Amino acid sequence: MSTDLSFVHLIANASLLVQLVLLALLLASIVSWAMIFNKRIALNKARRQADEFEDQFWELEDLTPLYTKVSAKRYQPSSMEKIFEAGFKEFARLHKQDGIDPEAVLAGAQRSMRIVLNREVEALETNLSFLATVGSTSPYVGLFGTVWGIMNSFRALGNVQQATIAMVAPGIAEALIATAMGLFAAIPAVIAYNRFANDVERLINRYDTFSEEFSSILHRHAHS
């Protein structure tokens, strides 16, 4: 008697717990891929916007027109534009007031930029923790399904007088599918997390460097 070992048949005839494990891993994989595509688009956009803004920033000697342009934007400004806008706005506000020490003016502008920078860092790191969780836990979830499936196979063997490979094969196969599904969910998540974490770190360093360079420009204006 032949045994149907097709993928669909094995899943359809798997135990309820193994089916739930496979479903959970499939959903985790789908959500991970959606986050991977969205994060890839977002990071590419952030890099492109940073390039465009820095080109404008370093071409101008008077930054007031650039601040006016950024403030008048009707669409969502980029991260670097937000940092620049916050620093310039606070610097201009404090610089107009009499009796304020130049260092206090500069400190206020730096504080405003740091607050905006922290918010942008949080936005860049969105979904990274989920990818890390999927990448680290999915193999173990799949392994749990595998252990459960193998355990059920050996329990079934205890109820028969003569065991054959045909009797064991379906249970072992469905159990191994859970392991494969765990790896299928984990591997892309781990690769994406490592790549995105590196890209985010580069963007954060870039924003931080811009803040320091802009602070140097503001320092010269504060003491002029």
Tens-digit pLDDT string for the chain (224 aa): 444 556 666 676 667 888 888 899 999 999 999 999 999 999 999 999 999 999 988 988 888 888 888 888 777 888 999 999 999 999 988 888 877 888 898 999 999 999 999 999 999 998 899 999 999 999 999 998 888 878 777 776 666 666 566 666 666 777 788 888 999 999 999 999 999 999 999 999 999 999 999 999 998 887 76
Residue 165 lies in a domain: yes
Residue 217 lies in a domain: yes
Residue 2 lies in a domain: no
Q: What is the dihedral of CA 113, 118, 123, 127, to 10 degrees?
A: 160
Q: What are phi and psi of 96, to 5 degrees?
A: -75, -20
Number of structural domains the chain divides into:
1
Q: Rounded to whole angstroms, what are the CA distances from 189 to 9, 38, 127?
A: 28, 13, 11
User: What single-letter DSSP state applies at residue 100?
Assistant: -
How far is 192 from 38, CA to CA, in rounded Å?
12
Residue 160 lies in a domain: yes
Task: Report pTM.
Answer: 0.82
Residue 1 lies in a domain: no
End-to-end CA distance of the chain: 93
pLDDT tens for each residue of 10-53 = 676 667 888 888 899 999 999 999 999 999 999 999 999 999 99
Residue 186 lies in a domain: yes
Q: What is the pLDDT of residue 165?
A: 61
Range of the domain at 25: 7-222
Residue 11 lies in a domain: yes
How far is 190 from 196, CA to CA, in rounded Å?
10
Residue 206 lies in a domain: yes
Here the tokens at position 5 are 């070992």
